[in-house]
Structure 1
Amino acid sequence: MGVAIRTAGEGDRELVVRLLDRAFQDDPVSGWVFPDPAHRRATHPKLMAAFLDIVLAEGRVDLTEDGTACALWLSVPADAHPENAEQGDDAAQLREAVDPDNERVELIGQLTAGIHPSGRAHEYLWMIAVAPDNQGRGLGTALVQHVLDRCDREGVAAYLEASCARSLKLYERLGFDLLGRPLDLPDGPQMWPMWREPQA
């Protein structure tokens, strides 16, 4: 049986923020950005909401019909330069809006922008979230494959940064390869940049 997927809109904002927050509360990178668990519980939803607002404005959010999984995608043109000064300004504004005293909110944006490939158009999987009690049912695979099928038809590459070893294996099964060295967060976990060429 297939997974029903639709495009999320503003009316889904609260649902998707809750979903992202639940799925990423225990993620290694979220734990690095917000080391104190109590502070993470209080502030993490604001970061997820800020990320979602960017993608609702500039990209696309795919949501399973039952609301238990979502994927945030941005289409990156060939002439985009993710590491430019504007990205640094965006990261600083994000920190100011979410958690002004937490430099890691800004740093994570700067570091991921610094490893983001440029020169070729691609679809960027910024985040994918599956509700914890629905993981292992193939929802994440269905959400990613939904876009990869279009990438293959249109001859477009795809890119992401995996934030844990378990997701790394999933992305490898979907045709992604490691791109360069992992990103070592200062005194924190690794993130793995991954690239997928369109497949025939």
Structure 2
Amino acid sequence: MGVVIRTAGEGDRDLVVRLLDEAFQDDPVSSWVFPGAEYRRRTHHRLMAAFADAVFADGRVDLTEDGAACALWLPVPADEPAGDGPGEGAEDVPALIRAAVDPENERVELIARLTDGIHPSGRAHEYLWMIGVVPERQGEGLGTALIEAVLDRCDREGLPAYLEASSARGKVLYERLGFEFTGRALDLPDGPRMWPMWREPRTP
């Protein structure tokens, strides 16, 4: 039986935040932003909540029917960089996120600024901001199913897609789905490497 996927609504917010918090507790980038397991358990969920709220407002959250996996997508218009995240304008969004999530932690703000700096601009595309699968369900193909559902639409509409892989394992998975490393890695200060990846739409 295939994976059943639906678009999450505001009523799914708490589920999505819990899912992301659990899925990314041991992620290299999350571990860099929130060093120390106990500190991360106390604080990490606030950043996941900020991300989820931003995407609920300006993008789309896809959720497996069983609640075990979700993907956060943002549409980026042509000639408009992803900038400081959804809903940006005159406001300094990374600074606002830091103030709301963990004011004493400069890495909350820095990760947003650094990823903004490597985000390609010029062409409309779908941005896979985050994809999470609860640890006990990883390896079952849930993440692949979530991504392929959107990539199929991208192919039909002629839209590229973009993401930042936060682990070498994830990079290999995304390469299997047609993403290619842009050639400019992001090495976080005293932290892990991230791989920006771009996928051109496939034609029939």
- TM exceeds 0.5? yes
Q: Which of 147, 151, 169 is 1:148 aligned to?
A: 151
Structure 1 match to 2:179:
176
Q: Which of 161, 164, 168 is 2:167 aligned to?
A: 164
Q: CA RMSD of the aligned region, Å?
A: 1.3
Structure 1 match to 2:123:
120
Residues 151 and 157, structure 1, Cα contact 8 Å, conserved in 2: yes
Unpaired segments of 5 or more residues in structure 1? Answer: none
Residues 76 and 82, structure 2, Cα contact 8 Å, conserved in 1: no
Aligned residues with identical type, % of pairs: 72
- How far apart, CA to CA, are the structure 1 residues paired with 2:181 and 2:21? 27
Structure 2 match to 1:15:
15
Whichever residue aligns with residue 57 of structure 1, its letter is A
Unpaired segments of 5 or more residues in structure 2? Answer: none
- How far apart, CA to CA, are the structure 2 residues paired with 1:135 and 1:181? 28
Report how many aligned residue pairs link the two structures. Answer: 200
Q: Deviations over 1:124-180 (max 9, x none)?
A: 000000010001110000000000000000000000000001111110000000012
Q: Deviations over 1:94-120 (max 9, x none)?
A: 000000000000000000000000000
Cα distance change of structure 1 residues 35 and 88 upon mapping to structure 2, 3 Å threshold: farther
Runs of 4 or more consecutive aligned structure 1 residues displaced over 6 Å after TM superposition: none
Secondary structure at the counterpart of residue 29 of structure 2: helix
Residues 121 and 157, structure 1, Cα contact 8 Å, conserved in 2: yes
Whichever residue aligns with residue 15 of structure 2, its letter is L
- How far apart, CA to CA, are the structure 2 residues paired with 1:87 and 1:174? 36
Residues 160 and 198, structure 2, Cα contact 8 Å, conserved in 1: yes
Cα distance change of structure 1 residues 2 and 87 upon mapping to structure 2, 3 Å threshold: farther
- How far apart, CA to CA, are the structure 2 residues paired with 1:173 and 1:3? 19
Structure 1 match to 2:67:
67
- How far apart, CA to CA, are the structure 2 residues paired with 1:81 and 1:69? 27
Secondary structure at the counterpart of residue 124 of structure 1: strand
With the length of structure 1 as denominator, give the TM-score of the two structures: 0.97
Structure 1 match to 2:48:
48
Secondary structure at the counterpart of residue 71 of structure 1: strand
Secondary structure at the counterpart of residue 101 of structure 1: coil
Secondary structure at the counterpart of residue 119 of structure 1: coil
- How far apart, CA to CA, are the structure 2 residues paired with 1:87 and 1:134? 41
- How far apart, CA to CA, are the structure 2 residues paired with 1:98 and 1:7? 26
